[in-house]
Structure 1
Amino acid sequence: MDIKRSLVLFLSSYGCFLFGQEKAVDTIYIFDSQMNKVKQFHPIKVINTEDVQKNSGNLSELLRFQSNLYIKENGRGAVSSPSFRGTSAQQTAFVWNGININSNFLGQGDINNIALFGYDQIGIKAGGGSVTYGSGAIGGSIHLNNNLDFNKGFHGSLFSEVASFDTYNNFIKGSYSNDKFSFKASANYAVSANDYEVPEFVVGSTSFKNINGRYYNTTFNIGAAYKITKDQTISWQNQVFDASQHYVIYEENGNRTKYKANTLRSLISWDINKTNFSNSLKAAYTEDNYRYFSDINSLKWSGAEGKNYIFKNDFNYFITPKININAIGEFQVNKAEGYDIGSVSRNIGSLAGMIRYFVSKDLRFEAGIKKDFVEDISSPVLYSFSGKWNALKWYHMGGSFSKNFRYPTFNDLYWKPGGNLSLRPETSFNIDMDHEFNFDDFKIILSPYYMDIKDYISWLPTSYGYWAPINTYKSEFYGIESQVTWNKSFGRHNLKINAAYTYSKSMNKDTQKQMMYVPLHKATGSIDYKFNFLKVYAQGLMNGLTYTTADEKRSVALEPYFILNAGISADFLKKYTLGFKVNNLTDTVYQTVFDYPMPKRNYSIYGTINF
């Protein structure tokens, strides 16, 4: 690889400050061009493909055990939503390859209707990020990223799993690349009868069984990139997702319902990368369609169809090796049609500018400003300021403050009856800090935070007999996230220990009560041991007392619980892996949503083939 190309990669990866020795690396095309810049100022937890296989049931399970988020799931595989630092699901942004994919109808992502497999990495960023990633990036953002590399030849893999409750999960992936062209495709199919029982949990006079809990989902991903010249690349990423969920009932003769979701995401990008500037021009089309069947045997349904047309340009220029400016422009057309909202459309535009100053290899700053233009909505000017200082060899610190927002959804504005065209956007003020300590094989990260959100949008009952959204109370969030990592290799042995703890205080300022479904305490931990061809792991999750009502009613609060998972796998002939997992080894009875118990002890066996 030539010196110019190496320098470009060095700049994009290490903060664009000219220190150290250049290093030639294989060219990798990353669809989210902002991610490397964000990593320079904020810690990002990255979940790789190997970690995904530990919690392969669904995205909810993965985030529950491998992040600080609280996941609210109406039983395994059913409706599921995240809570970042005590905020709501609408205040968490899902970002697919740099594009915000929160639903235009609900303003959130239903986690179990988002594919788990098919990404090269899943990133989790806590704290405000609306300047970069738009509406909803208040509590944090979840990044579903793909990349394409060159000069790698052909690679393929097959993952197949059989688990309790008649669950089957299959994933196949293949890729090919040379010095000019790169192609990657994958497919995943998961299906489960999901008929688990929890005898200790009694509903009325009957022990709980997850009747009508069946689900399935299918995902196809295709990506391709072509180098027009050594400095220019054109690329395409496409995802098709189809899913069906049957909603649980408590009696065999109850009314059986189901929900079908279909999403399409397609993104084309033209990227120019030179020594002192880069430009990424993207055009995307997304669809978000759903159908609800009040009787699974009937052809009648209610639902809506949404379509989004997105154009985005990201220009990055180095005035000097120490000063970098970044301008981002975006325009969207959002269209939707449904029985409950009619036929609606709106235009959205935004302009953002950022400047980064790299004082030295140990000190850097970033300032950003953004203005959104949302049709018929008055949007605030947003801003952010971040800094990172490597104060000592063993101590790094960072901090940021920002203003973020979330504009009302189509359901908030147009639902019949109840839609409110007078709603104001939610706005937040965020302060985040990070303290990182490194002692040989130990790493400790402490991240205190504070958020203040006003004009909170809540759906409340009206005197007319229906519910309607209004801007209600102000809310306050503060706490601390912590993480400890220890990684040690000795001979053919490798031991890795991760532990994380989160304290989340979130209050309605009017009542001074804790917000619903926000545990004060959550802790996760994992131990991974590898010897030669053998791997063993254990995962633990502790969740504290969680209130399910606004008045902190103790009788309907979710009791604290502890869950332990474990697994073992072995590699054969460098191409084959066979593994066995036990989920909820402790056989704990627990809920993440009131009256929807999760499965007790369950098992799976899986195999992978690499070729």
Structure 2
Amino acid sequence: MHTRRLAGLLAAAIAVARALPAQGQAAADTLTGQSHRLPDVAVAGSKPSRYALGTRQLVLDSAALSQYRTGTLAEALAARAPLYLKNYGPGQLASISIRGTSARHTAVLWNGFNINFSSLGEADFSLFSVGGNTQVRVQPGPGGALYGTGAIGGAVLLSGEPALGGGLRGSVQAEGGSFGQGAGSLEASYGAARLALRTTALYREAQNDFPLGPEQNGAAAPRQPNAAFRQWNFTQDARLLVGTGGQLSLAAWLTGANRQIQPALGAANRHGLETDHSARLLAAFRQRLGRRYEGTVRVAWLHDRLVYGDDTLLPQYTTLSTTQAQTEHSFTLGNKISLQLGGEVQHFEAVADGYESRIRENRLAAFGLLRYDATPTLRLTANLRQAVVPDQRPPLAPTAGAEWDLWQTETNTITLKASASRSYRAATLNERYYRPGGNPGLLPETGVGYEAGAVYDHQAAGPARLHWRTELTAYRQLVDNWVQWIPGAGGFYSPRNLRLVRTQGLEASTALDWKRPRYEAAVRASYALTQAHKQQGYLGDDDPLDTQLAYVPLHGATLSTEHTWRTHWLLSASGSFSSYRYTTVSANDFLPGYFLLQGSVGRHLTVGQARFTLLVQGYNLTNTRYQTYAGRAMPPRSAVLSLRVAWR
């Protein structure tokens, strides 16, 4: 039934768009004011990042993601960005914290659709494979006008759109390593002038029976029990240019996992077991008319099923389905003004053992995005979103941003940037409907944030091509009506709007790329200072004020480097540091800080049209004993050997 709904909506959208007169198209260069004629079949969608001026953005492109082909998004982000990911063990739940907020304050969007679990309001980053995406973009800070509910701490944007041209290419990879690790992946793509296809498949597993400590008195250390997992992932993306200025896109993303639930250190092993299955289907049609107008309609169906049980609990089932539709209309007014108007509708259905009955809910939102390129060096944006949620009143969410090229030469640019934004988070289904404890009267959380920074960019041409980019950002944010679960009169926990939280800090990053005829090198470094303090609590609240929130490290840093010699030899290393973290809201216990080091060495070998890559990877090379969540052990030093065959 859901498939028929999607097909009907898409067919209607295509009929309306194709009935409009098709024209040739031209695009204006917003920096120079000059117009350039583009091919009639070219379609360039207006991405939300175009209207996110003044904000910091972290991008992992296909080159960066290629180092984690069989890994998860949690692993890639933890190694490449100073974001804290709270991990309950390898292959277990991994939740993100951006700028001191919690996982439910991060919106995760796949091709424009929010894919957070509607029950929890957050995503499990250990279930997201890297190979299914061609780009991962992280925008820290509030972004409610652009990304909707949940984008208080930031947003993670996933995209897997295939590229036109390039012909047929593909790769297969197999690997094995310590503690029963094994994985296999397949990627195949085809790109012609008007058609692009991309297919990926992944299977990974691990026993995770790693030792829990060093040998003592000649006796082997006990090993981690009940932590094995199996995961699989499949994606299919298609892109077809239709007529003059039209584009049809289809995408499917299927994931599954069977996971033993790793018990806490010292706790009884209750042999917990969880299965997760998700299906995400998308269809979109985009029509460009001349250089002044572009219209887009997208529909998606998201389905998640979770089952959990252990020795003391019968299997608990949760089934979530979301049908979403979006429309966007982009207008180019002269050479300086871009305007996008749009809206979305969402229909939620949820069946869970913790709910009294099937939950059905509809939500609406409308938005407007405006960009004004005032001069070749000054760019401004102003955005607005209003959502409608049953029994709640999400606030109007405006955003304003600016970027100014203070100094610009052929090789150097210094850009100043600033933004201010209001965002919101509607209460989740669990917070409102779970029994016992759900609170239908919860108010939406609201956040008001500001940030300012500077970017220095140096790019030199010549035999030794050098690109250096450095960025510094300061931010401050207040989150009101922060939801906290506290014991109720009946002895069970219930969520309340109880806290006012302030987060503020500094973020710095630098990236250097150097290319010679026989040698290429890249270095990336980033640092984050994050202060997250409760400013107000509730009557009788014993938790201290102005103390760092639980699981928010004050300091975080990453450093990575990659080297290629004669296009044959590969060498890379990366390190990440996290300072101590409190583990309780009362700040009376903490986990010590840690530093993790990983590295790899590899060799390319070309035989005909095939390219073989043999890679040896080492993780936690310093053999650090650490935890990202209290009581959940993480593996010691480990290694993985992989072989990849690519052809084109």
* TM-score exceeds 0.5: yes
State the distance in 2 between where 1:217 and 1:188 align.
8
| CA positional deviation for 1:581 | 0.7
Counterpart code for 1:277: Y
The residue aligned with 2:509 is 483
State the distance in 2 between where 1:20 and 1:198 align.
64
* Greater displacement, 456-465 / 424-433: 456-465
Structure 2 residue 436 is the aligned partner of structure 1 residue 423 = no
The residue aligned with 2:540 is none
Specify which of 488, 494, 501 is matched with residue 462 of structure 1: 488
Structure 2 residue 370 is the aligned partner of structure 1 residue 355 = yes
Report if aligned partners of 2:71, 2:129 keep a CA contact under 8 Å in 1.
Answer: no
Report if aligned partners of 1:201, 1:597 keep a CA contact under 8 Å in 2.
Answer: no
State the distance in 2 between where 1:340 and 1:25 align.
55
Counting only pairs closer than 5 Å after superposition, residues 10-25 of structure 1 correspond to structure 2 as 11=28, 16=30, 19=33, 22=36
From the superposition, tell whether residues 191 and 29 of structure 1 become closer, same or farther in structure 2 (CA, over 3 Å).
farther
From the superposition, tell whether residues 119 and 566 of structure 1 become closer, same or farther in structure 2 (CA, over 3 Å).
same
From the superposition, tell whether residues 21 and 164 of structure 1 become closer, same or farther in structure 2 (CA, over 3 Å).
farther
The residue aligned with 1:242 is 256
Report if aligned partners of 1:29, 1:147 keep a CA contact under 8 Å in 2.
Answer: no
Structure 2 residue 531 is the aligned partner of structure 1 residue 515 = no
Report if aligned partners of 2:53, 2:401 keep a CA contact under 8 Å in 1.
Answer: no
State the distance in 2 between where 1:201 and 1:388 align.
57
Counterpart code for 2:596: I
State the distance in 1 between where 2:629 and 2:114 align.
27
| CA positional deviation for 1:200 | 4.7
Report if aligned partners of 1:507, 1:513 keep a CA contact under 8 Å in 2.
Answer: yes
Report if aligned partners of 2:173, 2:643 keep a CA contact under 8 Å in 1.
Answer: yes
Instruction: For residues 288-339 of structure 1, give each alpha carbon's deviation from its aligned partner in whole angstroms, at most 9, with x where no partner exists.
Output: 211102249x9x5112111111010011101211111110210111110111
Instruction: For residues 67-105 of structure 1, give each alpha carbon's deviation from its aligned partner in whole angstroms, at most 9, with x where no partner exists.
Output: 121000011111110000110000011111111111110
State the distance in 1 between where 2:374 and 2:287 align.
26
Please give the root-mean-square deviation of Cα atoms over the aligned residues, in Å.
2.4
* Greater displacement, 287-296 / 257-266: 287-296
State the distance in 1 between where 2:548 and 2:578 align.
16
| CA positional deviation for 1:22 | 4.0
State the distance in 1 between where 2:587 and 2:621 align.
31
Report if aligned partners of 2:66, 2:131 keep a CA contact under 8 Å in 1.
Answer: no
The residue aligned with 1:568 is 601
Specify which of 375, 382, 402 is matched with residue 367 of structure 1: 382
From the superposition, tell whether residues 98 and 75 of structure 1 become closer, same or farther in structure 2 (CA, over 3 Å).
same
Counterpart code for 1:578: L
Structure 2 residue 565 is the aligned partner of structure 1 residue 531 = yes
Report if aligned partners of 2:53, 2:417 keep a CA contact under 8 Å in 1.
Answer: no
The residue aligned with 1:276 is 292
State the distance in 2 between where 1:45 and 1:28 align.
27
State the distance in 1 between where 2:326 and 2:215 align.
50
Structure 2 residue 58 is the aligned partner of structure 1 residue 45 = yes
State the distance in 2 between where 1:27 and 1:569 align.
41
SS of alignment partner, residue 54 of structure 1: helix
Report if aligned partners of 2:226, 2:269 keep a CA contact under 8 Å in 1.
Answer: no
From the superposition, tell whether residues 5 and 149 of structure 1 become closer, same or farther in structure 2 (CA, over 3 Å).
farther
Structure 2 residue 635 is the aligned partner of structure 1 residue 599 = yes
State the distance in 1 between where 2:389 and 2:457 align.
44
| CA positional deviation for 1:114 | 2.5
Structure 2 residue 310 is the aligned partner of structure 1 residue 294 = yes
State the distance in 2 between where 1:223 and 1:470 align.
42
State the distance in 1 between where 2:51 and 2:400 align.
12
State the distance in 1 between where 2:83 and 2:624 align.
20
From the superposition, tell whether residues 374 and 460 of structure 1 become closer, same or farther in structure 2 (CA, over 3 Å).
same
From the superposition, tell whether residues 92 and 29 of structure 1 become closer, same or farther in structure 2 (CA, over 3 Å).
farther
| CA positional deviation for 1:41 | 4.6
SS of alignment partner, residue 380 of structure 1: coil
Report if aligned partners of 1:522, 1:541 keep a CA contact under 8 Å in 2.
Answer: yes
Counterpart code for 1:34: K
TM-score by length of 1: 0.93
SS of alignment partner, residue 26 of structure 2: helix
From the superposition, tell whether residues 416 and 501 of structure 1 become closer, same or farther in structure 2 (CA, over 3 Å).
same
Report if aligned partners of 2:59, 2:138 keep a CA contact under 8 Å in 1.
Answer: yes
* Greater displacement, 529-538 / 16-25: 16-25
SS of alignment partner, residue 89 of structure 2: coil
Report if aligned partners of 2:214, 2:220 keep a CA contact under 8 Å in 1.
Answer: no
Counterpart code for 2:523: I
Report if aligned partners of 1:214, 1:245 keep a CA contact under 8 Å in 2.
Answer: yes
Report if aligned partners of 2:41, 2:241 keep a CA contact under 8 Å in 1.
Answer: no
The residue aligned with 1:390 is 405
| CA positional deviation for 1:187 | 0.8
The residue aligned with 1:54 is 67
Structure 2 residue 519 is the aligned partner of structure 1 residue 493 = yes
* Greater displacement, 484-493 / 209-218: 484-493
The residue aligned with 1:404 is 423
| CA positional deviation for 1:149 | 2.5
The residue aligned with 2:223 is 209
State the distance in 1 between where 2:80 and 2:522 align.
14
Report if aligned partners of 2:24, 2:40 keep a CA contact under 8 Å in 1.
Answer: no
From the superposition, tell whether residues 386 and 7 of structure 1 become closer, same or farther in structure 2 (CA, over 3 Å).
same
Specify which of 548, 552, 572 is matched with residue 583 of structure 2: 548
The residue aligned with 1:304 is 318
Instruction: For residues 553-603 of structure 1, give each alpha carbon's deviation from its aligned partner in whole angstroms, at most 9, with x where no partner exists.
Output: 2xx311111111111111111612111111111111111011112111100
| Aligned-residue identity in percent | 23
Report if aligned partners of 2:256, 2:277 keep a CA contact under 8 Å in 1.
Answer: yes
Report if aligned partners of 1:445, 1:484 keep a CA contact under 8 Å in 2.
Answer: yes
Structure 2 residue 624 is the aligned partner of structure 1 residue 588 = yes
SS of alignment partner, residue 96 of structure 2: strand
| CA positional deviation for 1:402 | 0.6
| CA positional deviation for 1:42 | 3.5
Counterpart code for 1:542: F
Counterpart code for 1:560: G
From the superposition, tell whether residues 89 and 252 of structure 1 become closer, same or farther in structure 2 (CA, over 3 Å).
closer
Structure 2 residue 206 is the aligned partner of structure 1 residue 186 = no
* Greater displacement, 344-353 / 565-574: 565-574
TM-score by length of 2: 0.88
SS of alignment partner, residue 491 of structure 2: coil
From the superposition, tell whether residues 525 and 382 of structure 1 become closer, same or farther in structure 2 (CA, over 3 Å).
same
Say how many residue pairs are matched: 596
State the distance in 2 between where 1:538 and 1:513 align.
35
SS of alignment partner, residue 136 of structure 1: coil
**Gap runs ≥5 in structure 1:** none
The residue aligned with 1:339 is 353
Specify which of 267, 274, 277 is matched with residue 262 of structure 1: 277
Report if aligned partners of 2:51, 2:369 keep a CA contact under 8 Å in 1.
Answer: no
Structure with bigger RCO (C-alpha 8 Å, 6+ apart):
2
Report if aligned partners of 2:187, 2:198 keep a CA contact under 8 Å in 1.
Answer: yes
State the distance in 1 between where 2:163 and 2:511 align.
29
SS of alignment partner, residue 592 of structure 1: coil
Report if aligned partners of 1:513, 1:550 keep a CA contact under 8 Å in 2.
Answer: no
SS of alignment partner, residue 358 of structure 2: strand
Instruction: For residues 508-560 of structure 1, give each alpha carbon's deviation from its aligned partner in whole angstroms, at most 9, with x where no partner exists.
Output: 1132211000000001001111111111111011111111112222xx31111
Structure 2 residue 550 is the aligned partner of structure 1 residue 503 = no
| CA positional deviation for 1:163 | 1.8
| CA positional deviation for 1:50 | 3.8
From the superposition, tell whether residues 538 and 29 of structure 1 become closer, same or farther in structure 2 (CA, over 3 Å).
farther
State the distance in 2 between where 1:145 and 1:208 align.
42
From the superposition, tell whether residues 323 and 35 of structure 1 become closer, same or farther in structure 2 (CA, over 3 Å).
closer
State the distance in 1 between where 2:79 and 2:239 align.
34
Counterpart code for 2:451: D
State the distance in 2 between where 1:68 and 1:541 align.
8
Report if aligned partners of 2:48, 2:146 keep a CA contact under 8 Å in 1.
Answer: no
**Gap runs ≥5 in structure 2:** 1-22, 460-466, 537-544
